[in-house]
Amino acid sequence: MPVINIHITGMTCNGCASHAEATLNALPGVQAQVSYDHAMARVETTGEVDEARLLEAIEASGYHGKLENSDEQPRSGDANSPLHIAIVGTGSASFAAAIKAAEQGARVTLIEAAEVIGGTCVNIGCVPSKILIRGATLVHLQTHHGVEGLPFNTPVIDRGAMVRQQQQWVDKLRHAKYESILDSQPHIELIRGMARFLNRNTLIVTAPDGSEKAVHADRILLATGASAALPKVPGLKNTPYWTSTQALLSERLPQHLIVLGASVVALELAQAFRHLGATVTILARSTLLSRQDEALGEELKNVFEQEGITILSHTRVLKVHHDAGRFVVQTTEGGVEGDQLLVATGRSANTAALDLDKAGVQTEAHGRILVDDHMRTSVEHIYAAGDCTNQPQYVYVAAAAGTRAAINMTGGDATLDLSVLPTVVFTEPQVASVGLSEKQARDQGLDVASRKLDLENVPRALANFDTRGFIKLVAEKHTGHIIGCQILASQAGEIIQSAALAMRHHMTIEELADQLFPYLTMVEGLKLTAQTFSKDVSQLSCCAG
């Protein structure tokens, strides 16, 4: 019979040892002897009970078990024994942390419950959605380009072919950025299964076949991501609604798509399906992009309505019914019928299965793990990063957080500064922001000035025959320092980083206005907007300095 030795802490007398021994021997196929003097259990097993079950039994008795020769906090101090870091999840935060930790000499164990690795961005988020949006934009441009002499063309859309190409690229990028890294990193191991805490230092991993394994680590990083949240609407749960995942993979184009939600994912997909030919109705609980500068949502609403999208603002969904391939959505504004419903009302952290209470890890609303600027949780040696935390849910934030978490887990001191965080909504025109809006600044008691430049004053927008949108800058009055920028424009995502760099380097409006920008570029609009603080740009010559 196999013999397993387990160190036990927490026993105070021989009676404790007898209690622990009786608990172990109650398990099928187990013969155990527990010594109080040696703080050790010697367990013989027929193999019917795995290590994880033994440790759980000891934990249930009120003691703490550790497999002999396993790594666990605190470390022995043996310089020849590498630090062991367990990372739950295999998305952007996880891999950034794993790579950095391995570079620092740590041994890394990645734990993943899903069939594929890579997390949200490459599999069901950023990558496939941007490929869909690119295709939809090309369809739209064939009938909305504004160039004389080029006849309009209504293309025949093969949605199945689009999805197949999309998924081919998902597979390629997942292999290049995730799977191949595992092949080339000998110090990073992948374990398949669902992880949960046994205690602060031990994770129990349940494999797909139901077997369990205990993983002990000196440090633990939680990077389990988030999933689409389902609002509590009567009748919704039992209907064949889409989340963004199903929408991206569907080879069927709906005739009438009803979109529940008015933030980033909802708006990107709503417009993409409209460009592909679907009738689209958006049900917004308040307004479009309600957390951003009010003008962004208002002007994007005008764009959407010009494209034929129906928007019901300040609308609450009361009930959803599905029958014979039709959705009937009852709202405070009346009923809406369509053949498909997309639910995009936010995301909840994937933390429910982790048994965080057994480790003492604190969470907030929607299960998000609370972390500080070092990615530390409420437990000293447990860290968290990415969409499962209270940090902003952007893949580049997740990756940066994962890298810094790894630095800190291996003895460094790295922080994540989110004070200058550029964001993009990939509609057309795009929505991009960084820093404070004018309202946010005033709500914080700041004395600010702002200027909003319509794109009809930007030469490149005129040359593109697309003057939809604006560029807005917000600055402190007494210093002139730029503290915010909001853009609605084609290529806004390519423009916003220049504004972010200006803010990061504490540039003033005057300094930005004095910079050299190449003529007939959209980013020149930043310079023109800065110039409006002191002059009328409509009276300037082309590329006036």
Question: Which residue numbers are catalytic?
Answer: 11, 13, 16, 63, 121, 126, 542-543
DSSP string, 244-287: HHHHHH--S--SEEEEE--SHHHHHHHHHHHHTT-EEEEE-SSS
- Could you give phi then psi for residue 249, rounded to 5 degrees? -100, -10
> Are 341 and 327 a contacting pair, CB within 8 Å?
yes
> Are 62 and 370 a contacting pair, CB within 8 Å?
no
Round to whole Å and give the CA distance between 93 and 290. 28
H-run or E-run covering 425: strand 423-425
Q: Which amino acid is at 216?
A: H
In the numeric block, which tokens belong to residue 325? 């391939």
Which of 444, 504, 438, 517 is CA-nearest to residue 475? Answer: 438
Round to whole Å and give the CA distance between 263 and 296. 12
> Are 473 and 424 a contacting pair, CB within 8 Å?
no
- Could you give phi then psi for residue 419, rounded to 5 degrees? -70, -25
The secondary structure of residue 369, as a DSSP letter, is B
> Are 139 and 275 a contacting pair, CB within 8 Å?
yes
- 3-state class of 3 per DSSP? strand
Name residue 489's beta-bridge partners.
430
Round to whole Å and give the CA distance between 295 and 487. 10
Round to whole Å and give the CA distance between 273 and 309. 10
> Are 388 and 369 a contacting pair, CB within 8 Å?
yes
Which of 244, 93, 116, 234 is CA-nearest to residue 174? Answer: 116
In the sheet that holds 334-338, the strands lie side by side as: 317-323, 326-331, 334-338
| Cis, peptide link before residue 254, omega less than 30° from 0 | no
Round to whole Å and give the CA distance between 427 and 308. 15
Which of 531, 506, 503 is CA-nearest to residue 517? Answer: 531
CA 121-217-119 angle, 5° bins: 10
